[in-house]
Amino acid sequence: MKVLFLFVLLVFASSVPIYSQKFENLAATPPMGWNSWNGFGCNVDEKMIRGTADALVSSGMKDAGYQYVVIDDCWHGERDTQGFIRPDETRFPSGMKALGDYIHSKGLKLGIYSDVGTKTCGGLPGSRGHEYQDAMTYSSWGVDYLKYDWCNSGGLNPVGAYTTMRDALRAAGRPIVFSICEWGDTKPWEWAKDVGHLWRTTGDIARCWDCEENHGTWSRWGVLRIIDKEKPLRSFAGPGHWNDADMLQVGNGMTVSEDRSHFSMWAMLSAPLMAGNDITKMTGETRRILTNKEILAIDQDPLGIQAFPALSEGGLEVWAKPLSKEAWAICFLNRGNTPVDINFNWKENTIDDAFSNRKLDTLTATYKIHDLWAEKEIGTTNTPLSSRIPSRDVLVVKLEKVTH
């Protein structure tokens, strides 16, 4: 059987069209799911993944839109004598196909991890030289999402390396969302639109508000640092091709205010939402943040337009995101360490977005205001918006035009 599998591999690898392409009609909105890395690192096994899939369902996260269960680094065993990758038999005794079947039985989707190099970031077998074998294997396991890292790349050209795996996935025939994890080093937003469905724009996210964890040749970045790096990239994002601000750290040690701001801003940025906490043990507050359907709707708006900082004063930023049906999301982000009192006069602060050709014209139109965290209406744009925003917190509102 394995000889036949290898023969099939050789046939389809040699018959790949010269001009291949990624799978279309995937990731029309930013992908949502859970990834093992931020919460568990290399401590992954079959029991934990099954338990997480169960918890995604029982917690209401599946119903809120989270669908991918992504097993990050360290699931790998060794390659067999013909070069096919196998999972670690101690950690995944039932095998990946059985685990994928279980995840699919819950109405969820299976995600997996590999690397362009000969070794992953954790030192396990990467995909270099085995791209078509691995793509075929993932397809046979029922994989729906591939995160493809950049460790041990040994001077590879990233465009060529990621295009090779894109073509391999296409040849394998199973539609798989392709997540490019190149850390933004070579500006993938400029070249990856036709290669993958999302691309990392920065190094890894840290569990902090405003910090850099410097590791010499690379750094982890706090929430604010990543937000700042996203500001010039909005024109590159849209349905089927997203700027990836990295996986969420909600529930991993920051304050509730910081978690709420982090989650709100990822939604404003139209970022993929991959939870990274222990779903089986999360607090009620963490669950409420991750499953706020009105904030999620901002992220999943079908226009897919990334927000921009329309106004800034001191430590307060006002971010604006055009939405479908002529609506807007506005996020007042308090970056600082002290509360900020606002008295925002909508008539004096019209917002014009040349990129989307949209204008929030509060002089000639009236919008009703809905507070997305308080979950209540708070007036219209005919009167100033007064509020106190705690330190490192947000006020997020949706504006909908009043029709007469």
User: pLDDT over 90 for what percent of the chain?
Assistant: 93
| Of 45, 134, 167, 204, catalytic | 204
Q: Specify whether the CB–CB gap between 381 and 362 falls below 8 A.
A: yes
| Residue pLDDT, tens place only, 138-168 | 999 999 999 999 999 988 999 999 999 999 9
**138's tokens:** 């993932």
Under 8 Å between Cβ of 114 and 148: yes
- pLDDT value at position 3? 45
Q: What is the pLDDT of residue 155?
A: 87
Degrees to nearest 5, angle at CA 241 with 187 and 199: 40
Range 384-401 average pLDDT: 98
Residues contacting residue 100 through CB under 8 Å, at least 6 positions apart:
110, 141, 142, 143
Bridge partners (DSSP) listed for residue 385: 344
pLDDT average, residue stretch 334-362 = 96
Specify the pLDDT at position 288: 98
Q: 276 φ, ψ to 5°?
A: -130, 20
The predicted-structure confidence for 235-289, as pLDDT tens digits, reads as follows: 999 999 999 999 999 999 999 999 999 999 999 999 999 999 999 999 999 999 9
Going from the C-alpha of 211 to that of each of 112, 148, 226, 238, the distances in angstroms are 29, 26, 10, 29
What pLDDT is stored for residue 57 in this prediction?
A: 98
Would you call 149 a catalytic residue per the annotation? yes
341 among known catalytic residues: no
Burial of 57 (0-12, 13-18, 19+ CB in 10 A): middle
Q: How would residue 229 be classed by pLDDT, with cut points 50, 70 and 90?
A: very high
The answer to whether residue 15 scores a pLDDT higher than 80 is no
pTM of the model: 0.95
Residue 57: both structure tokens together: 């369902």
Q: For position 10, what pLDDT does the model report?
A: 46
Indicate the pLDDT class of residue 294, thresholds 50, 70 and 90.
very high
pLDDT at 378: 97
Q: Is the pLDDT of residue 205 over 80?
A: yes
| For the chain, percent of residues with pLDDT exceeding 70 | 95
pLDDT of residue 7: 43
pLDDT classification of 220: cutoffs 50, 70, 90: very high
How far is it, in rounded angstroms, from Cα 184 to Cα 200? 6
What pLDDT is attached to residue 403? 85
Residue type, 176: I
Q: So what's the pLDDT on residue 20? A: 72
218 vs 383 pLDDT, higher one: 383
Q: How far apart are CA 393 and CA 322, in angstroms?
A: 22
Mean pLDDT of 327-336: 98
What pLDDT band is residue 16 in, cutting at 50, 70 and 90? Answer: very low
- Mean of the per-residue pLDDT values for the chain? 95
pLDDT band at 67 (very low <50, low <70, confident <90, very high): very high
Which position among 72, 73, 115, 149 bears the catalytic label?
Answer: 149
